[in-house]
A = this chain, B = another copy of it.
Amino acid sequence: MTRFALTLEFDGGPFMGLQRQDHGPSVQQAVEAAAKAVTGETVTLHSAGRTDSGVHALAMRCHLDIAKVIEPFRLMEALNALLRPDPIAVLACKVVPDDWHARFSCIGRAYEYRIANRRAPLTLERGHAWHIARELDAEAMHRAAQALVGRHDFTTFRSAHCQAKDPVKTLDRLDVRRVADHVVIEAEARSFLHRQVRSMVGTLALVGQGQWTEAQVADALAAKDRTALGLNAPPEGLYFVRAVYPED
């Protein structure tokens, strides 16, 4: 068996998420089906993160094991040909050691969240950003975000369905900046709880609109209570942008 590491880009819009689901199409199912068509083998795709329905990826790192002898470039080309018309692309493919694991070897993950902050509805960006018509104070959002950076119990900012045993995580970075009529939020951590980024962004958006004070974000964190959450941001603005491994 040879282990291949893949870097995937996908538009999450048509999928129920990255992970295989019983009730609809997933990125995993599409890639595994393409790999089966190339190799004749039943393979399992492992990924650095598990993105929700509608969440996008610019560079999701994954791996799969294949018995068939095939060059990485040829595997990539064959998968890309078979994945059409699904909006999933293999950007890179290489052979990795058998003990390299897309999920367990990963030591850092980064997400970007894009808010289109303008009065007019979205056209070209539809499905690819969260549209907020009311003007956001990105500087206030950034200041409030700093209360979430560090090692904390993120119970307030996790989904009720989160399967992680421990709600304590270390958030390395949570930066908010304005880029013309967009507000971009970047989050980095070794790992995140389920819905953590969207929960944090939703709450910061309340600060940006003046509905919450900056101090209320710290209070919500301290409450360690999901019902203290301000708002869950929608999936279409979220992008998985980077997975970090020791060898990088």
Interface positions of A (Cβ within 8 A of B): 9-11, 56, 58, 76, 80, 83-84, 87-91, 118-124, 126, 128
Contact = CB atoms under 8 A, between A and B. Distances in A.
B120 A90 contact: yes
Given A11-B126, A126-B11, A89 B56 contact: no
A30 B71 CA distance: 51
B80 A120 contact: yes
Q: How many copies does the complex hold?
A: 2
A123 B80 contact: no
5 contacts: A10-B124, A56-B124, A58-B124, A87-B124, A89-B120
A11 B56 contact: no
Contacts of A122: 87, 89
Contacts of A91: 118, 120
A128 B56 CA distance: 17
B89 A11 contact: no
Contacts of A83: 121
A67 to B, nearest CB: 25
Contacts of A89: 120-123
A84 B126 CA distance: 12
A121 B11 contact: no
Max chain B Cβ within 10 angstroms of own Cβ: one of A10, A11, A90, A121: A121
A80 B10 contact: no
